[in-house]
């Protein structure tokens, strides 16, 4: 099979992913193999490639927003069938026994393992995944449309839940990349007004096209108090102005896997009046299933830019340089 492989941690500008020919992967017990149709790219892929996350496995095939068709079942598989279209997301293993798993918070499991980080992912013609961590894809989406939902969508959905925005409330989004352009559609479907702060003019124009009631470049220009906010940009300096824009009792969700340091803050100005800060850590499978169901009902229409598998380095460079509106998606030949 053809795969884009990372042999060493390096800046994405050096094009560290190499297109190689490898033996086709085979599923182990309890796993299924997918013939991959496409795989969306993600800033977490950049964190893996550039070493922002601790190194876990090298060489590694990145990619954790994978859509394909099951073509081989490992021993003991009963839930999925050959020919079924499924998706693979970031979370691929939990222990199922710890206090977090048994309380419905498997995203906090100490034994959690992740696709494209601890195990090879979807920048390849074939991929394997534990059957219990694969998601059937609703017919409402074609392959390319479905890929952003498997991380950008799921994490955005988890962040929206953590933001505790009330139905019909006011929601601020800081950063308007892959997750935010899914979240705005869910929030609007729930009757919310959405306010967007993002530095890129292309991103601001997309937010306007998608119906944001206000769009700006600077957080300090937020025109009104909001009930809830989500910071998608990995920028700690956005936390104080985002808190200041919250109504009393409002909630700020921090959706990034990495963030620059948060500045020192005055308690009375930013935190007092029961303003809450909620971080977002990965997702549960319940988040994934609920997101896919609601997305199909709306239906969500992700904005995508397609690249051939061999152009993965260029796609990730475009992502890092904010040249992609919505989500970049790698497609197999």
DSSP string covering 208-245: HHTT-SEEES-GGG--S-EEEEEE-SS-GGGHHHHHHT
**What integer pLDDT is reported at residue 61 of this predicted model?**
98
Position 121 scores a pLDDT of 97
Q: Tell me if the pTM is above 0.85.
A: yes
The per-residue pLDDT for range 203-222, each reduced to its tens digit, is 999 999 999 999 999 999 99
Query: For tokens 């090879």, what's the residue?
Result: 120
pLDDT for residue 325 is more than 90:
no
- Average of per-residue pLDDT values in the chain: 96
- Fold entry, domain 154-279: Rossmann fold (3.40.50)
Write out the H or E segment, with its range, that includes residue 285: helix 285-297
> What share of the chain has pLDDT > 70, as a percent?
100
CA distance 100 to 66: 26
Average pLDDT on 324-331 reads: 93
Residue 35 has pLDDT above 80, yes or no: yes
Confidence of residue 283 (pLDDT cuts 50, 70, 90): confident
CATH fold of 2-150+282-331:
Quinone Oxidoreductase; Chain A, domain 1 (3.90.180)
Query: pLDDT grade, residue 282 (50/70/90)?
Result: confident
Q: Where in the chain is the domain with CATH 3.40.50.720?
A: 154-279
pLDDT (mean) for 28-51: 96
pLDDT in tens, 41-86: 999 999 999 999 999 999 999 999 999 999 999 999 999 999 999 9
- Could you give the residue range(s) of every CATH 3.90.180.10 domain in the chain? 2-150+282-331
């Amino acid at each position: 099979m053809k795969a884009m492989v990372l042999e060493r941690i390096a800046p994405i500008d050096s094009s560290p992913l190499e297109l190689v020919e490898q033996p086709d992967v085979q599923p182990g017990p309890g796993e299924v193999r997918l013939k991959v149709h496409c795989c969306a790219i993600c800033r977490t892929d950049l964190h893996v490639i550039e070493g922002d996350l601790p190194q876990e496995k090298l060489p590694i095939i990145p990619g954790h927003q994978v859509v394909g068709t099951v073509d081989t079942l490992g021993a003991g598989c009963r839930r999925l069938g050959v020919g079924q279209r499924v998706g693979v997301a970031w979370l691929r293993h939990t222990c199922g026994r710890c206090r977090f798993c048994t309380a419905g918070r498997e995203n906090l499991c100490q034994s959690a393992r992740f696709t494209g980080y601890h195990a090879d992912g979807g920048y390849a013609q074939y991929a394997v995944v534990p059957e219990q961590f694969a998601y059937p894809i609703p017919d409402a989406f074609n392959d390319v449309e479905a890929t952003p939902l498997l991380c950008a969508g799921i994490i955005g959905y988890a962040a929206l839940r953590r933001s505790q925005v009330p139905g019909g409330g006011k929601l601020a989004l800081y950063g308007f990349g892959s997750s935010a352009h899914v979240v705005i559609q869910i929030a609007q479907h729930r009757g919310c007004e959405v306010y967007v702060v993002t530095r890129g003019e292309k991103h601001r124009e997309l937010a306007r096209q998608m119906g944001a009631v206000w769009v700006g470049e600077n957080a300090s220009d937020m025109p009104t108090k909001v009930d809830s906010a989500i910071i998608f940009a990995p920028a700690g300096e956005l936390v104080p102005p985002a808190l200041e824009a919250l109504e009393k009792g409002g909630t700020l969700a921090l959706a990034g896997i990495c963030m620059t340091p948060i500045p020192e803050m005055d308690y009375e100005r930013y935190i007092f009046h029961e303003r809450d800060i909620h971080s977002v850590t990965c997702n549960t499978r319940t988040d994934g299933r609920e997101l896919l169901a609601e997305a199909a009902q709306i239906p969500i229409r992700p904005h995508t830019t397609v690249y051939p598998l061999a152009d993965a380095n260029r796609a990730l460079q475009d992502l890092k340089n904010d040249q992609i509106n919505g989500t970049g998606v790698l497609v197999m030949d």
